Amino acid sequence: MTLIKFFNKVVFIKTFIMHNTVKNLIYIEELIKSKLNRDKLPTIIAVSKTFPIENILPLLERGHLHYGENKVQEALDKWSNIKLKHNEVKLHLIGRLQTNKVKFALKIFDYIHSLDSEKLANKISEEQKKHEIKPKLFIQVNIGNEEQKSGINKEQLVDFYKFCKNLDLDIIGTMCIPPKDGNVKKYFSEMNKINQELNFKELSMGMSNDYLEAIKDNATYVRVGSKIFGNRT
Average of pLDDT values for 210-221?
96
Nearest to 68 by CA among 144, 145, 177, 161: 177
Q: Which residue has the higher pLDDT, 145 or 110?
A: 110
Measured CA to CA, the distance from residue 194 to residue 199 in angstroms comes to 9
Which helix (H) or strand (E) segment holds residue 11: the answer is helix 3-35
Please answer whether residues 91 and 139 qualify as being in contact, where contact means their C-beta atoms are separated by less than 8 angstroms: no
pTM: 0.90
Nearest to 63 by CA among 22, 28, 32: 22
Mean pLDDT of the chain: 91
Residue 7, pLDDT score: 37
Residue 180, pLDDT score: 87
Measured CA to CA, the distance from residue 187 to residue 189 in angstroms comes to 5
Residue 91, pLDDT score: 98
pLDDT tens, residue by residue, 58-90? 999 999 999 999 999 999 999 999 999 999 999
- Number of domains the chain is built from: 1
Residue 147, pLDDT score: 86
User: What CATH number is associated with residue 182?
Assistant: 3.20.20.10
Nearest to 199 by CA among 174, 176, 220, 219: 174
Cα angle for residues 113, 156, 98 (degrees, 5° grid): 40
Please answer whether residues 113 and 204 qualify as being in contact, where contact means their C-beta atoms are separated by less than 8 angstroms: yes
Does the structure show a pLDDT above 60 at 132? yes
* DSSP codes joined into one string, 120-143: HHHHHHHHHHHHT---EEEEEEET
Q: Which domain holds residue 100?
A: 3-229
Measured CA to CA, the distance from residue 1 to residue 8 in angstroms comes to 11
Measured CA to CA, the distance from residue 151 to residue 166 in angstroms comes to 19
